[in-house]
């Protein structure tokens, strides 16, 4: 297997990387490919083509399966913070979150929901801290917060 790896790994990795576009995923797919090749080597038929062509197709197919997978599609929608442009870009000094009018919109909530949203989003409290502050069960705080967010979402639309 060491000889096989030395001879083919670089070429296989290059093909996989072109398909999946991310190095850490390409490394995982290469490893999966090598395991699959090792476990299914008895299915290789020299009469149908060269060994390199067969291993290339196995690796290519696994890479395509990876980018079609739900896990890959969901993961590709988000970007690690280290790669995010927002991390490198400072907020403008004139940016003030209260200018977007959200705090005024909370006035349209019922008093129980408004109190919870004010503490959670404008007071910086956690849900547990709100429950403790208002002497309410945590489940009640979560339910009211969720209901308030639904109302606010409708108002924003």
Q: CB burial class (10 A; 0-12, 13-18, 19+) of residue 1? A: exposed
Q: Of 29, 52, 74, which one is at a domain's C-terminal end? A: 74
Please give the tally of structural domains in the chain.
2
pLDDT in 10s for each residue of the chain, 157 residues: 888 888 888 999 999 999 888 898 899 999 999 999 999 888 888 888 888 889 999 999 999 988 887 766 666 555 555 655 555 555 555 555 555 566 677 888 888 888 888 888 777 788 888 898 889 999 999 999 999 888 888 877 7
Q: Are 75 and 24 in contact (CB under 8 A)?
A: no
Q: What is the pTM of this model?
A: 0.48
- CA distances (Å), origin 117, targets 75, 96, 98, 99, 148: 30, 18, 14, 17, 7
Q: What is the CATH number of the domain that holds 20?
A: 1.10.1740.10
Q: Are residues 66 and 116 in the same domain?
A: no
Q: Which domain holds residue 130?
A: 108-156
* Cα–Cα distance for residue pair 136/142, rounded to 1 Å: 10
Is the dihedral angle over the CA atoms 149, 132, 136, 109 positive or is it negative?
negative
Q: Please state at what angle helix 51-68 crosses helix 2-20, rounded to 10 degrees.
A: 40
Q: Of 29, 54, 74, which one is at a domain's C-terminal end? A: 74
Q: Of 49, 74, 99, which one is at a domain's C-terminal end? A: 74
DSSP designation for 121: I
Q: Are 41 and 58 in contact (CB under 8 A)?
A: no
Side-chain half-sphere exposure of 36, counting CA atoms within 13 A: 16
């Amino acid at each position: 297997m060491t000889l096989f790896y030395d001879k083919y790994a670089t070429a296989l990795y290059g093909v996989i990387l072109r398909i999946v576009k991310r190095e850490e995923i390409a490394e995982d797919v290469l490893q999966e490919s090598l395991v699959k090749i090792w476990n299914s080597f008895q299915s290789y038929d020299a009469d149908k083509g060269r060994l390199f062509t067969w291993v290339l197709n196995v690796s290519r197919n696994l890479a395509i399966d990876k980018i079609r997978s739900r896990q890959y599609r969901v993961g590709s929608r988000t970007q690690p913070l280290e790669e995010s442009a927002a991390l490198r870009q400072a907020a403008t000094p004139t940016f003030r979150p209260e200018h977007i009018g959200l705090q005024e919109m909370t006035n349209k909530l019922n008093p129980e929901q408004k109190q919870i949203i004010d503490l959670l989003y404008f007071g910086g409290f956690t849900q547990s801290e709100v429950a403790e502050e208002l002497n309410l069960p945590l489940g009640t705080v979560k339910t009211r917060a969720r209901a308030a967010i639904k109302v606010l979402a409708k108002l924003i639309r």
